[in-house]
Amino acid sequence: MRNRIKILPENLANKIAAGEVVQRPESVVKELLENSIDAGAKNIELIVKQAGKSLIQVCDDGSGMTEEDAILCIQKHATSKISSLEDLESIKTLGFRGEALSSIAAVSQVEIKTETREEEIGTLIKIEREGEVYKSKISTAKGTCVSVKNLFYNTPARRKFLKTDTTELKHIIDTFNRIALANPKISFKFYNNDDLVFDYKDGTLEDRISQIFADNMMDALIKVEELTEFISLYGFIGKPSIFRKSKGEQFLYLNGRYVVNKNINHAVFNAFENVLEKGDYPFFVLFLVIDPSKVDVNIHPSKLEVKFDDEKDIYNFVLSVIRKTIASYDLVPTMSFNNPLESEIESKLKFDPFVTSRRNDFSDRPDYSKKMDFVTNEDIELVFGNLTNEIAKSNEIPLQQVDEYFTQKETEQNIDDTETEQEKGFIIQLHNKYILCQIKSGLMIVDQHVAHERILYEKALSRMDSNLPLSQQLLFPIKVDIDPARLELLRELNPYLEKLGFQLKFKSSNRLIIEGVPEDIKSGSEERILREIVDEFQINYKEKKLEQKDNIAKSFSCKTAIKSGDKLSENEMRILIDQLFGTSMPYVCPHGRPVLIKISLNEFDKRFGRT
C-alpha cells in the first residue's frame, strides 16, 4: 500500500502560508506601511495602480537596510524585531512575525531598493519568480522603497476572487487612513494611478484628525485623557450629534497598533448609555497604552485581534473613563437652521455637531441652584406632590402656597427683584409639555416628561444600590384585585419594589394590599401606577430583553414621572431643571429619547435677517 501523506514542496507551502498574510492588496499595503514605521521613517509615500493589483509601492526615509539584511528580509521567518521567546511576550513593534515580505514575494513580483544612512551606495533586490533572487548595487535615496507588482499573478484563483477596483481601493484607503491616524508625527502621501489623493503633513493628533475627516471635525469631538502608571487611555470621542448608522468610524489602537476588540467597543457604547439609539455607532479615536507583556497580539497573522490578561479590568477602566469624560462636557445638542435664506423646503432645523465644547464648561445652561439655595427637601417634595394628602405634618406647606412661600423667602433675603430676574432669565411652559428657558447662547427647550423620567430613573437605581428604601405609609391601605399572572410577577419583583419604597402584602392568589409607596407617587394614583409598572416591565422584557433591575428602574420612572400635559408652576420648572442637570446623563431619557435641545441666538438672527 502506497503512503498517502507527503511533505508539500516549499513553493506550494509558501503560497498556502501567504494566503493567511496576503488576503488582498490592502494586506500588502498594511504590512509595508508598518515596516516603514518600524524603520523610523518620517516621510512615507504609498503609490497604487489598478487598486493595487498591478502595483503597490511604499517608499520611506527610514533606517534602510544593508545588502545582507535586504537579502534576508525576504526569507521566511526573517525579522529584526524579535530574537527570543521573551521578546515575543513583550512586543513593542508593529511587525514581528517575519512572514510579510516572504509571503508577499510568494504571490507577486517584488523589487526592493534600499540604502542605510551610513552607506554611500544602496542595494537593489528583485524577485521575478519565487526562488529567483537578483541583486545589484545602485544609487538610491536613503531609506527603503518596496514595489509589489502583479499581485497573485501565479495564483489565478486568488486573483479571480478579488473585488472591483473601487472596492479594493476603498479597503486600501481605509487601512492607509487608520495607520496615518495612529502616526500623526509622520508625513504620509498617497498616489492613486499617479494622482495625489492624500497629503498628510506631520503634526498633532488633532491636526491628523482634521486632515482625514474634516477641517472642523475637532468641534464635533471631546477629548479623552486618563494617564496612569499601569494603563492609559487618550484620544477623542464624538458627540451624540455625529453618531452614525454604520460601522467603520471606531478607531481603537493598542500600544500604537490598530486592533479590533468587541469588548472594548462595547465599553465605549455602554458609556454612552441610552444616548445611542438602536443601530447607532459612536465615533471614536482611542489609544490604549498597556504593558506589552500584559497583552497578546500574536493570535492571527493579520495582528488585528488581541487578548488581554484581564479583559474585565480593561473593560471597566475604559467604561469608567469614557463615562467620566462624557460627564465633564456639556453635550446638549444645538439645533441650527439649514440654508435659512433659501426656500422653505430647503430651510429645516438640524442638529449642528460642530459647536466647540470645553471640559467642565457648563455655563450655557440655566442655573437656578444659586438663586434657590433656600429651597429645602420638603419644598421639593411638595412641588412634585410627594406627600399623600392623608398625612398631616405641622411643618407642611400646602401646594397652593408654594409660590407665596418662595416669594416670602426671597423678600427675607433682600434679593433685588430686577437683578434676580436678569440672573434667572425667563422660564415658561409651552402647551404644558415643554419648558422654555433662557441660556447664555440663546434658548433651551426641555421635554418635561422625559426630563423627570431621567431624574427618577437615576434615583431608582441609586435606591436599589444603596438598599435604603424611602417609603411613605398609607393612612388607609389599598386592596388590589389582580390576575394571578401579574400577581406572581409582582412576587418575583417584590425585592426590587421594596427597595424603591413599595410595601406590598400578598393575601391570596389574586389579591394584594398596598401599605406603602415611594415618595414620588402622588396620592390617588398608587394602584394605577403599580399596574402600569408591571405592564411596562412586561413590554420591556419582551421587546428589549432588559435585565430585571434596569427594567424595574425604567418602568418605574416612566410611569411615575409627570406627564405631558401636566401644568407646572415656575418653581416646579426651576427645580425640575436643577434636578435634571444633577443627573449623570441629562441628555436622554432612560429609553433613549432626547430630553433637551438648544437653539442659539445666532440662528434666530439668521432667520430674522439680522446677519
Residue 381 is predicted with a pLDDT of 52
Share of the chain above pLDDT 90, in %: 53
Per-residue buried b or exposed e for 263-290, using 16+ beta carbons within 10 Å of the residue's own CB: ebbebbbebbebbbeeeebbbbbbbbbb
For 356-411, write each residue's pLDDT tens digit.
778 888 888 887 665 444 444 454 454 454 433 433 343 444 444 545 545 555 55
85 pLDDT tier (thresholds 50, 70, 90): very low
**Among the listed residues 177, 242, 170, 244, the one whose alpha carbon sits nearest the alpha carbon of residue 209:** 177
φ/ψ of residue 238, rounded to 5: -80, 150
Q: Write the Ramachandran bin of 52: left for phi over 0, alpha for psi from -120 to 50, otherwise beta.
A: left
Residue 167 is predicted with a pLDDT of 96
| DSSP letters spanning 550-597 | HHHHHHHHHHHSPPTT----HHHHHHHHHHHTTSS-TTB-TTS-B-EE
Report residue 345 as a C-alpha cell: 423646503
**Pairwise CA distance, residues 562 & 576, whole Å:** 10
CB 190 within 8 A of CB 52: no
Query: Which residues, in sequence order, are CB contacts of 210 under 8 Å at separation 6+?
Result: 216, 217, 218
**Pairwise CA distance, residues 191 & 300, whole Å:** 30
277 pLDDT tier (thresholds 50, 70, 90): low
Which is more confident, 171 or 589?
A: 171
447 pLDDT tier (thresholds 50, 70, 90): very high
Average pLDDT over residues 248-257: 91
Q: Look at 127-141, 347-361, 551-565, 574-588 and tell me which has the smallest mean pLDDT.
A: 347-361
Q: How far is CA 443 from CA 22, 351, 371, 602, in A?
A: 56, 14, 20, 11
Q: Is 151 exposed, middle or buried (0-12, 13-18, 19+ CB in 10 A)?
A: buried
Average pLDDT over residues 236-254: 84
Residue 386 is predicted with a pLDDT of 42
pLDDT at 219 over 60: yes
Residue 313 is predicted with a pLDDT of 92
Residue 289 is predicted with a pLDDT of 93
Residue 300 is predicted with a pLDDT of 53
**Pairwise CA distance, residues 409 & 405, whole Å:** 6
Q: Look at 107-116, 144-153, 242-251, 379-388 and tell me which has the smallest mean pLDDT.
A: 379-388
Average pLDDT over residues 175-185: 97
Q: Is 357 exposed, middle or buried (0-12, 13-18, 19+ CB in 10 A)?
A: middle
CB 480 within 8 A of CB 467: no
Q: Residue 401 has what DSSP assignment? A: G
Report residue 125 as a C-alpha cell: 533586490
**Pairwise CA distance, residues 210 & 207, whole Å:** 5
Q: Residue 273 has what DSSP assignment? A: G
**Among the listed residues 79, 179, 64, 182, the one whose alpha carbon sits nearest the alpha carbon of residue 125:** 64
3 pLDDT tier (thresholds 50, 70, 90): low
Average pLDDT over residues 63-92: 65
pLDDT at 562 over 90: yes
Q: Look at 123-127, 333-337, 445-449 and tell me which has the smallest mean pLDDT.
A: 333-337
pLDDT at 189 over 90: yes
CB 502 within 8 A of CB 517: yes
Residue 90 is predicted with a pLDDT of 47
95 pLDDT tier (thresholds 50, 70, 90): very low
Residue 45 is predicted with a pLDDT of 98
Residue 448 is predicted with a pLDDT of 96
C-alpha 605, offset from chain centre: 34
Please give the domain boundaries of the chain with CATH numbers for all domains.
10-202 (3.30.565.10), 213-327 (3.30.230.10), 361-449+567-607 (3.30.1540.20), 461-560 (3.30.1370.100)
577 pLDDT tier (thresholds 50, 70, 90): very high
Average pLDDT over residues 158-171: 93
pLDDT at 108 over 80: yes
Strand, coil or helix: what is 154?
A: coil
Residue 19 is predicted with a pLDDT of 46
Helical packing angle, 548-560 and 484-500, nearest 10°: 90
pLDDT at 500 over 60: yes
Q: Look at 161-170, 230-239, 349-358, 524-533 and tell me which has the smallest mean pLDDT.
A: 349-358
Bridge partners of 57, per DSSP, are 47, 147
Bridge partners of 112, per DSSP, are 125, 146
Average pLDDT over residues 33-60: 96
pLDDT at 17 over 90: no
Residue 419 is predicted with a pLDDT of 44
CA dihedral in degrees (462, 468, 470, 471; nearest 10)? 120
pTM for the whole structure: 0.74
Provide long-range contacts, Cβ within 8 A and 24+ apart, for 508-511.
Answer: 509/484, 510/481, 510/482, 510/483, 510/484, 511/479, 511/480, 511/481, 511/482, 511/487
Q: Look at 173-177, 318-322, 465-469 and tell me which has the smallest mean pLDDT.
A: 465-469
CB 402 within 8 A of CB 569: yes
CB 524 within 8 A of CB 387: no
| DSSP letters spanning 350-381 | EE-------TT---SS---TTTTTT--HHHHH
Residue 258 is predicted with a pLDDT of 93
The overall average pLDDT reported for the chain is 82
Which is more confident, 17 or 161?
A: 161
pLDDT at 18 over 50: no
Q: Look at 84-93, 111-120, 132-141, 430-439 and tell me which has the smallest mean pLDDT.
A: 84-93
Average pLDDT over residues 293-317: 77
Helical packing angle, 548-560 and 448-466, nearest 10°: 140
Length of the chain: 611
**Pairwise CA distance, residues 579 & 451, whole Å:** 9
Give the H or E element holding residue 130.
none
Q: Look at 28-42, 108-122, 134-148, 248-262 and tell me which has the smallest mean pLDDT.
A: 248-262
Strand pairing class (250-254; 284-290): parallel
**Pairwise CA distance, residues 599 & 608, whole Å:** 14
Strand, coil or helix: what is 119?
A: coil
Residue 512 is predicted with a pLDDT of 94
Q: Residue 399 has what DSSP assignment? A: G
For 509-536, write each residue's pLDDT tens digit.
889 999 999 998 989 999 999 999 999 9
pLDDT at 273 over 50: yes
CB 170 within 8 A of CB 176: no
Residue 392 is predicted with a pLDDT of 36
**Among the listed residues 107, 115, 113, the one whose alpha carbon sits nearest the alpha carbon of residue 125:** 113
